[in-house]
Amino acid sequence: IDAARAAVDLAPDNVDAIRQYAYSLVQVGRTMVEARAWFDRLHDVAPEDPIALYYRYNFALLSGDYRKAIDACERLDRLQPDNPIVQARLARARRLLGDGTGAAQHFAQAAARCSSEQDPFPFGRMASLKPVYSALAGDPVAAERLSLELCQAEGSGLADLSHPRYPDDCEESIARL
């Protein structure tokens, strides 16, 4: 962390140095207030930096500023137009803002992005997210399948991991989902 700070001191506007120092603060568990200040600095110096936008979204979400979170994700979405997780983050912020319809649309877009030419469903690294995003988008068939897979009571949102269909091995349970 000292080396990262020294790099920032030598070059206060160096995007890589600021990014590394801010990220280092998060990794070593320093106060998030200090890390946030450095990510804000990164955003000031490089407003389209994906890492700065990601943390801007996270900090805005944690502070309840959902419109700011949406703004950060929309900008990140323009930089990473095939990323389903960005759409899911947009959906989350919209849902927290009270926009259920907008959230469902973004979850549907997230599901659609899980199968791209670069990352084809069902073999791509995002393939396992598609049924979850589809269910969250309001697809009743996907929601029912997900509910059955999770062994949850309708609307409870909690998986019953004590159900006998789940093995004792958590990793295997997660892989099944």
Please give the chain's pLDDT, 177 residues, in tens: 888 899 999 999 999 999 999 999 988 876 788 899 999 999 999 999 999 999 999 999 989 999 999 999 999 999 999 888 899 899 999 989 999 899 889 988 888 887 655 544 444 556 566 667 777 777 777 776 666 665 555 555 555 555 555 455 545 544 555
The pLDDT, as a whole number, for residue 121 is: 44
**Contacts for 161 with CB less than 8 Å, ≥ 6 apart:** 173
Residue closest to 68 by CA, chosen among 58, 77, 78:
58
Paired tokens of 25? 């603060």
Q: In whole angstroms, how large is the CA radius of gyration of the chain?
A: 19
Which H, E and C letters describe the chain, residue by residue?
A: CHHHHHHHHHCCCCHHHHHHHHHHHHHCCCCHHHHHHHHHHHHHHCCCCHHHHHHHHHHHHHCCCHHHHHHHHHHHHHHCCCCHHHHHHHHHHHHHHCCHHHHHHHHHHHHHHCCCCCCCCCCCCCHHHHHHHHHHCCCHHHHHHHHHHHCCCCCCCCCCCCCCCCCCCHHHHHHHC
Rounded to whole angstroms, the Cα distance separating 18 from 12 reads: 7
Residue closest to 52 by CA, chosen among 39, 41, 65:
39
The pLDDT, as a whole number, for residue 150 is: 59
81: preceding bond cis by omega (within 30 degrees): no
The pLDDT, as a whole number, for residue 2 is: 87
